Chain A
Amino acid sequence: MTIKTSLLGGSSGIPTLAPDLTWPNSKLISNTGYKQIAGIDATAGLTTALSLTGKFLISGLLFDDMISEAYTVKMTVDGVVIWNDSIASVASTALVLYGAASNSFSSSTTEPGFICNTSLVLEIQSTTDTSVTLEYLVRPIL
């Protein structure tokens, strides 16, 4: 039987966690261990909400504190544009992009993580929103 190793995320298969020494403490603060970035001014064109350089396992991405207006969301992984979409209006204040069961990471994640090998850039643009919040769940891997 042939196993397609390309489906396993690389030649070594399952990703190995890189040092992330304070991870247990973050799990104490928030049960899910997600981090929150606030105050993203998305009005000056596509704005980088999250930039990862290196190899990471991404388990959750969620925009919060959004207002009722159009947004453009673009994500580039390892130089390839994965998402590039305009949303007419956000029904609730949160936009779950990846990994949350509801509008909060307090709920269990529903999707397996994905890997960026060298870089990830998540950008957002709006007309008037000067304070977007991003919640994310990523781990550095070897």
Chain B
Amino acid sequence: MNIISDSGKHKIESAGTLQVTPPAIRHISKRAFRNRLTQPERTLIRKSTDDIVIDIKEELEMTTYVDLDMPSNTDALNYLVSVGILLAPRVAEILVDGTVEEEFKG
């Protein structure tokens, strides 16, 4: 059994190992996700008449938070690349781990 902490009066143990580095934040708020897009990118999305881009925009408006690991979100960003709204390197930039400030808190 591994000792997680022991103050003498309070002791915490487990068969597992305490993770020093917290898990990556992969659920971020909708506002945080929008802020990851630049103003020109948001404008291009808003003005687009492409049905799929409109669908992506509506999906974002309806959701309560953004799961950065959800494949459909990656697909959506890749589509925005394909129609020239995003540059290819932006996909990885937009999908980086969230910060504490960006974290969806429910």
Contacts and interface: CB of A to CB of B under 8 A. Distances in A.
Please indicate whether A and B come from the same complex rather than being unrelated chains. yes
Interface of A: 18-19, 28-31, 35-41, 47-56, 101-102, 104, 106-108, 132-134, 138, 140
Interface residues on B, range: 20 to 34
Contact of A50 (B7, B9, B14, B103): B14
Contacts of B27: 104, 106
Given A35-B4, A37-B17, A49-B16, A107 B10 contact: no
Contacts of B70: none
Nearest to A40: B16
A48 B9 contact: no
A133 B11 CA distance: 19
A50 B2 CA distance: 10
B12 A36 contact: no
Nearest to A109: B106
Contacts of B12: 50-53, 138
Contact of B106 (A48, A53, A106): A106
Contacts of B13: 48, 50-51, 53
B100 A38 contact: no
